[in-house]
Chain A
Amino acid sequence: MGLSGPAAVESMSPNWLTTRLTSLADWAVNWGRANSLWPMPFGTACCAIEFMATAASRFDLARFGMERMAFSPRQADVLICAGRLPFKLAPVIRLIYDQMPQPKWVISMGACASTGGIFDTYAMVQGIDTVVPVDVYVPGCPPRPEGLLYGILMLQKKIKGETLADRSLRDEQPLGVTGLRLPAETLDELSEPFGNSVHQTRSA
Chain B
Amino acid sequence: MNPSVSALRERFGRVVGRAFVSCGDTVVYVDRAAAVPVLRWLKETPGQQYNYLVDVTAVEYRDAERPLEVVYELFSLERRVPLRVKIELSKDATLEVDSIVPLWRGADWLEREAFDMFGIAFRGHPDPRRILMWETYAEGHPLRKDFPLRGRFSRSEQVRQALNLHPEAHYSMEELSIAEAHRDLPADMRERLERGERGVVPEPPGGAGNP
Interface residues of A (CB under 8 A from B): 87-88, 90-91, 94, 120-123, 125-126, 130-131, 175, 177-180, 184-185, 187-188, 191, 193, 196, 198, 200-201
Residue from B132, B151, B164 in contact with A179 in the complex, judged by beta carbons closer than 8 Å: B164
Do A125 and B159 contact each other (CB < 8 Å), given the known contacts A88-B134, A178-B204, A184-B209? yes
A179–B204 CB distance below 8 A: yes
B163–A121 CB distance below 8 A: no
Closest Cβ of chain A to B28, distance in Å, is: 27
Query: A126 — which chain B residues lie within 8 A by C-beta?
Result: 155
Closest 3 CB pairs of A and B: A122-B151, A191-B155, A184-B156
Binding site secondary structure of chain B = loop
Closest Cβ of chain A to B208, distance in Å, is: 12
Q: How far, in whole Å, are A93 and B163 apart by their CA atoms in the complex? A: 10
Other A-B pairs beyond A121-B151, A131-B159, 19, CB < 8 Å: A90-B162, A91-B162, A91-B163, A91-B164, A91-B165, A120-B149, A122-B150, A123-B132, A125-B162, A131-B163, A177-B205, A179-B160, A179-B164, A187-B155, A188-B156, A191-B155, A193-B150, A196-B149, A200-B62
Q: How far, in whole Å, are A88 and B151 apart by their CA atoms in the complex? A: 14
Q: How far, in whole Å, are A179 and B162 apart by their CA atoms in the complex? A: 10
Query: A130 — which chain B residues lie within 8 A by C-beta?
Result: 155, 159
Query: A198 — which chain B residues lie within 8 A by C-beta?
Result: 148-150
Interface size on B, residues (CB 8 A): 29
Query: A94 — which chain B residues lie within 8 A by C-beta?
Result: 163
Who on chain B is nearest to A182 by CB? B156
Q: How far, in whole Å, are A27 and B133 apart by their CA atoms in the complex? A: 47
A178–B160 CB distance below 8 A: yes
